[in-house]
A and B are shown apart, each in its own frame.
Chain A
Amino acid sequence: ETGVTQTPRHLVMGMTNKKSLKCEQHLGHNAMYWYKQSAKKPLELMFVYNFKEQTENNSVPSRFSPECPNSSHLFLHLHTLQPEDSALYLCASSQGYRMNTEAFFGQGTRLTVV
């Protein structure tokens, strides 16, 4: 276990559904991240939160909506997704603003949009 827990592990949703992914870290980190991992593509950074404030939105479509109520929890709200959004969504955390320290990843949520 890395100390970063993601739920659910697997999710199948229709294009009209609304669902949320949850990430929780017990490492005392101040920065949390959402990454998208698609087949045969590099890991794509989606959002960064530092001390609960969103500091980066990497041109992500508005059908993905992040929420960070505190430094330990991160959510990704999903609505009106497209089949091409099917991917592994990874949450990560690190100590803080200095990014060049180790990032700890969760096991990911495998999302399938039908």
Chain B
Amino acid sequence: QQQVKQSPQSLIVQKGGISIINCAYENTAFDYFPWYQQFPGKGPALLIAIRPDVSEKKEGRFTISFNKSAKQFSLHIMDSQPGDSATYFCAASRDYGQNFVFGPGTRLSVLP
């Protein structure tokens, strides 16, 4: 119930392409779904987050799509750039909870 599944484990995309990372959860009590980006040697940093009252959130080239009934959410990176090469973690938490549950991560490589 606490697990967040994430796929794919790794992803290679050409520059200018679309990167798509998918996550799924079981616990319907989760109500906050952030995505974190982690570069080598750095800690994860918040990229974008969504709450289940909306189905999509867009910030620049990054979009979260959320499907509450399917308990799935995904990150789309449009016009992917080599600088986007990093590990991406989806996560879920619930209001008044104190624990983010993280997915296992997706290593994205954007080829120049």
Contacts and interface: CB of A to CB of B under 8 A. Distances in A.
B105 A56 contact: no
Given A103-B46, A108-B43, A98 B96 contact: yes
Q: Say whether chain B's binding surface is mostly helix, strand, loop, or mixed.
A: loop
Given A43-B89, A99-B93, A100-B93, A56 B98 contact: yes
Contact of B102 (A4, A6, A31, A43): A43
Contacts of A61: none
A107 B31 CA distance: 27
Interface size class of chain B, counting residues whose CB lies under 8 Å from the partner chain: 20 to 34
Contacts of B4: 42
Interface residues of A, number: 27
B96 A105 contact: no
Contacts, number: 67
Nearest to B33: A100
B14 to A, nearest CB: 26
Contacts of A58: 99
Given A106-B43, A108-B43, A99 B99 contact: yes
A55 B97 CA distance: 11
A113 B4 CA distance: 29
A42 B89 CA distance: 9
B60 interface: no
Contacts of B99: 45, 48, 56, 58, 99
Contact of A42 (B51, B93, B103): B103
A90 B97 contact: no
Interface of A: 2, 4, 6, 31, 40-43, 45, 48, 50, 55-56, 58, 90, 92, 97-100, 102-108
